[in-house]
Structure 1
Amino acid sequence: MQGDIGRRTQLLDAALAAVIGTAVVLAALAAAAPGVVDLLLVAAGSLALAAHRRAPRTVLAVTTLCMSAYVVHAHPGTWAAFPVLAAVHAAARSGYRAQAVAAGGLFLTGYVLVLLATAPDTRDTVERSVLLLGWFLCAGVTGLIDKNWQAYLRQTEQRALDAERTRDETALRRAGEERLRIARELHDSLTHSISIVKLQAGVAVHLARKRGDEVEPALLAIQEAGGEAMRELRATLEVLRTDVAEPGPGLDRIGELAERARAAGIALAVTADGDTRPLPADVDRAAYRIVQEALTNVARHADRAGTTVRLSYTISSLVVSVDDQGPCLPGDTVVPGTGLTGMRERVTALGGTLVVAPRAHGGFSVRAELPLTAAGPAGRAVTG
């Protein structure tokens, strides 16, 4: 399916490049009789746009140089800027804003110099220059808008997937807890009662044999049924207690999480200190969820600011720190939402410590210390 989508996108890009090239060639033919060199320059500059998704910077350079050479050689109208406008839009959408500005400035400068050298009408030169400047500004702005829109769509899709996964995990965890509760109830009630029945039947059989009396078949049947009931009950309790651990990703998937965050536009760095080693399952899952929620908050509230994730392993604990360079200032009030509340509940359940607060030099910091040994619900959470 993804391969079909990729081929379809490539065909659309090739078709767009062909349409732009055809339009520029037709405009050139309508304006004058272009030479072979002119047609080659237009074809190369336009058809290169077919690769704008795979190599936006290369396409930007090739298109700008070809069309600039065409402008210097043939002195065409403003329509010669169309391929460059498309390349500038693609580069801005891919995040290469500086290169897009430089390419647009290079083409515009060359075009203006050609106009000044060939057109005696200064007013016409100014009008064309202002028109081209407006076009290039629109191409850059629409490219940035498209980039942010695509990042928003990816983030929304990922949040939907994460929400669905969280719902599934919550349902499985609750089902596991219910199974454990049922297992405890069965053990505390039925096991005791069946044990008493089996014990009493055994005593009755023993006394009958000791007195030399014939043991009633019903009594033997009760004794045998009690033993069989105990075996079946133990097997049932074993099944109920099997595979009830909370499922979910751990820090072994932190790389996937980081790649998704970078795809959403976050400049992210992930580092680890100390003796990296396997963690208890609950700590491993909690650490992953803390990083996930913190990065989600960066995307939502910190304008995808530069962020650093640090995992510090000590002998007795794991410290998870997520620091961003967002717009939050020292002294700003932190109002915990659903995400921070859930984060606090996870840390508290493990007996850890959570600190969420603005940073001293701007930005926001999340720091969770998770003990690696079993802990009761005596953990604490600090906000602010």
Structure 2
Amino acid sequence: MRGYRITRERLGDLTVAVVVGVITVLAAVADDRAGPVDCALIVAGSLALAAHRTAPRAVLAVTTSGLLADVVLAGPAAGLAVPVVGAVHTASRTGHRGTAAAAAAVFLGGYAAAGSATSDIVRETLLLAGWFLCAVVTGLADRNWQAYLRQTEQRALEAERTREEAALRRAGEERLRIARELHDSLTHSISIVKLQAGVAVHLARKRGEEVPPALLAIQEASGEAMRELRATLEVLRTDEPTGTPALLVERARAAGLAVDLTVTGEERPLTATVDRAMYRIVQEALTNAARHAGPAKVSVRLAYADGDLTVFVEDDGAADPSRPPTPGIGLTGMRERVTALGGTLDAAPREQGGFAVRARLPLGEAG
């Protein structure tokens, strides 16, 4: 996109230079002075304007000397000042107002010296002086306007960044508030249920009685609820990754899950949002595999490409493509993270059995 914009600007500059050259040549023809040398000097001085963005002072020198040489050789003509006025304007706009004013003075001096000291030449010289003054002033005004636009854009970006930081801070405070509420209410209640169920099971076994299956189910469910609640509170208290995919794989192996990790492509630093999303996707996919895949082998692959990172997590577990699972909170959260980054997520049972998660994350500049 940037290359296209640069090409378009260069084509526009070349078009303007050609138009200025054509106008100046036509003015010379109207004054009966369109000889080969005149045309060559006019064309060279006019076409030089096409390079005003990259070399404004060089363009000013070429245009002024070329058109001034034509004035000295063939005599003064007001139309010859048109390319020089354009060069003075572009030089002033790029901050070389002193050089622009000096070039204008040189051209005006040569213009006045090349003609006889008649009232017409004096009048034309003064008129051209007004043109050059306008060129310098408009160049400065354009420069100041561009600087103002850049400052306005910078302030807008800074304000947007400030709003984003404030929103993130409020979101973090809200997560902490929810975590405190859950800890103070649910954790206590579930702990009581678990404790009472454990006491009841212990007393039943101590008396030699058969433990009711419902009581065992309550004890097991309360313990699982406590683990889930602690995990939820940990997520609420911090949304930042607490490790790397390699660490997640090591933890999964320590828990008895057969996991392999593969990294392809040129590994590079990631932005905080992409790194966080990659971590959470691998974490959630391994958690789901440990819960639902049964005794299965899991493969994790991170594929780096020029513009994106693809995360593959596949297992050969018990998932059946004829019975797709109902998306839960984990899969929904993964999809929301990927969508927020402008990526894509595919999570479904494989045709050969097992489950596969494929997430493509666009890469931005590393922060």
- Please list, as runs of the form range in 1=range in 2, the aligned pairs for 1:363-374 lying within 5 A after superposition: none
- Separation (CA, whole Å) in 2 of partners of 1:243 and 1:102: 62
The structure-2 alpha-carbon separation of the partners of 1:120 and 1:145, relative to structure 1 and needing over 3 Å to count, comes to closer
Offset of residue 244 of structure 1: 5.8
Cα contact 1:183–1:237 (8 A) shared by 2: yes
Which residue of 2 is the match for residue 227 of structure 1? Answer: 223
Cα contact 2:204–2:210 (8 A) shared by 1: yes
Which residue of 1 is the match for residue 45 of structure 2? Answer: 45
- Separation (CA, whole Å) in 1 of partners of 2:57 and 2:149: 24
Which residue of 1 is the match for residue 183 of structure 2? Answer: 187
- Separation (CA, whole Å) in 1 of partners of 2:228 and 2:103: 78
1:152 equivalent to 2:136? Answer no
Offset of residue 165 of structure 1: 2.9
1:213 equivalent to 2:213? Answer no
Which residue of 2 is the match for residue 16 of structure 1? Answer: 16
The structure-2 alpha-carbon separation of the partners of 1:76 and 1:125, relative to structure 1 and needing over 3 Å to count, comes to closer
Q: Which one-letter code corresponds to 1:155 in the other structure?
A: Q
1:77-106 residue CA offsets vs partner (Å, 9 max, x unmatched): 111111110000000111111111111111
- Unaligned regions of 5+ residues in structure 2, if any? 242-367
Offset of residue 110 of structure 1: 1.0
Which residue of 1 is the match for residue 97 of structure 2? Answer: 97
Which residue of 1 is the match for residue 273 of structure 2? Answer: none
- Separation (CA, whole Å) in 2 of partners of 1:222 and 1:181: 29
Cα contact 1:177–1:244 (8 A) shared by 2: no
1:32-77 residue CA offsets vs partner (Å, 9 max, x unmatched): 2333222111111111001111211110111011111111111131
Indicate the RMSD between aligned Cα atoms, in angstroms. Answer: 1.9
Q: Percent identity?
A: 68
Q: Which one-letter code corresponds to 2:54 in the other structure?
A: R
1:34 equivalent to 2:34? Answer yes
- Separation (CA, whole Å) in 2 of partners of 1:26 and 1:204: 107
Would you say how many aligned residue pairs link Structure 1 and Structure 2? 242
Q: Secondary structure at the match of 1:233?
A: helix
Cα contact 2:197–2:219 (8 A) shared by 1: yes
Q: Secondary structure at the match of 1:102?
A: helix
1:294-322 residue CA offsets vs partner (Å, 9 max, x unmatched): xxxxxxxxxxxxxxxxxxxxxxxxxxxxx
Which residue of 2 is the match for residue 55 of structure 1? Answer: 55
1:331-376 residue CA offsets vs partner (Å, 9 max, x unmatched): xxxxxxxxxxxxxxxxxxxxxxxxxxxxxxxxxxxxxxxxxxxxxx
- Separation (CA, whole Å) in 1 of partners of 2:240 and 2:177: 11
- Separation (CA, whole Å) in 1 of partners of 2:13 and 2:200: 89
Which residue of 1 is the match for residue 258 of structure 2? Answer: none
Which residue of 1 is the match for residue 292 of structure 2? Answer: none
The correspondence for 1:199, drawn from 192, 195, 208, is 195
Which residue of 1 is the match for residue 161 of structure 2? Answer: 165
The structure-2 alpha-carbon separation of the partners of 1:69 and 1:168, relative to structure 1 and needing over 3 Å to count, comes to same
Q: Which one-letter code corresponds to 1:182 in the other structure?
A: I
- Separation (CA, whole Å) in 2 of partners of 1:46 and 1:66: 9
1:98-136 residue CA offsets vs partner (Å, 9 max, x unmatched): 111111111111111112xxx252x22321221111111
- Separation (CA, whole Å) in 2 of partners of 1:184 and 1:206: 32
- Please list, as runs of the form range in 1=range in 2, the aligned pairs for 1:1-384 lying within 5 A after superposition: 1-115=1-115, 119-121=116-118, 123-243=119-239
Q: Secondary structure at the match of 2:73?
A: helix
TM-score by length of 2: 0.63
Offset of residue 199 of structure 1: 1.2
List 4+ stretches of structure 1 deviating above 4 A: none
Q: Which one-letter code corresponds to 1:198 in the other structure?
A: K
The structure-2 alpha-carbon separation of the partners of 1:33 and 1:134, relative to structure 1 and needing over 3 Å to count, comes to closer
- Separation (CA, whole Å) in 1 of partners of 2:117 and 2:67: 23
Which residue of 1 is the match for residue 348 of structure 2? Answer: none
